[in-house]
Amino acid sequence: MPRSNYSHRLIEYPDLIFPDDQAFKHRAHWRDFFSSRIGPSFKDQLIFEIGCNDATFLTTIAQKNPTTAFIGLDWKVKAIYDAAPRVADMKLTNVVLLRARAQDIAKIFGAGELDEIWIFHPDPCDREVELQNRLIAEPFLLAAHETLKPNGSVHLKTDHAGYYHSVVGVLSMDLLAQRFDLTIASSNYWHDPTAILPTAHRYFANETTAFERRFMKKRQPIYYVELRTKP
């Protein structure tokens, strides 16, 4: 991963940011970790947001749900460095930040450890040479499946029609179809009752990310996909 002028500053938050290999050190023990931080009220739920950027979205939700654990990940050092004071100032014991690659998900979490994975507005990688870099492809989804509980879920939002169609398409591949049910696929999330109603109980319901607001302002549709692990 590229270094940054902020790399050495991540150690200013040793209890909050786990950079690089440190992101792997609680693998399969995240529930114990949060149990001791949150205390007996911990609801035993672990939510993982990929591409959390400066964690404005994640901290808004985490503040309203202090007994659920939220782990935000981004590979941009500056984004994670900017996120840390927000988490610290809000005294959110239920949030940690990882400066790591989403592709390393199976090194970060043990088998069946996660309840939900959120991926909101992933980089579209839509130039011909970049298509192979799209995160949501078979290798990542197979690894993500390993880390999810039975009936665990993946939630994706994107403003990019091509990305949405490629995700829906990849789910018909044999290995993925054996592991996941495609439970919701919507090409206009905020105006689609078949997507809004079944997600109304989710922590992210009614909340929008910075990228999402940008595209909603331009009246562009937000695409949404929900996957559930098969029992």
Ligand X SMILES: C[S@@+](CC[C@H](N)C(=O)[O-])C[C@H]1O[C@@H](n2cnc3c(N)ncnc32)[C@H](O)[C@@H]1O
| Residues making contact with ligand X (CB under 6 A) | 51, 53, 73-76, 79, 101-103, 120-123, 135, 209-212
Beta carbon nearer to ligand X, 70 or 120? 120
Beta carbon nearer to ligand X, 13 or 140? 140
Shortest reach from residue 21's CB to ligand X, in Å: 15
Shortest reach from residue 101's CB to ligand X, in Å: 5
Beta carbon nearer to ligand X, 120 or 180? 120
Q: How far apart are the first and last CA of the chain?
A: 35
Closest residue (Cβ) to ligand X? Answer: 51
3-state helix, strand, coil in the chain (%, to 5): 45, 20, 35
Shortest reach from residue 125's CB to ligand X, in Å: 9
Beta carbon nearer to ligand X, 73 or 227? 73
Structural tokens at position 199: 């997600």
Shortest reach from residue 74's CB to ligand X, in Å: 5
Closest residue by Cα to residue 177 from 149, 142, 151, 148: 142
Shortest reach from residue 148's CB to ligand X, in Å: 18
Beta carbon nearer to ligand X, 122 or 221? 122
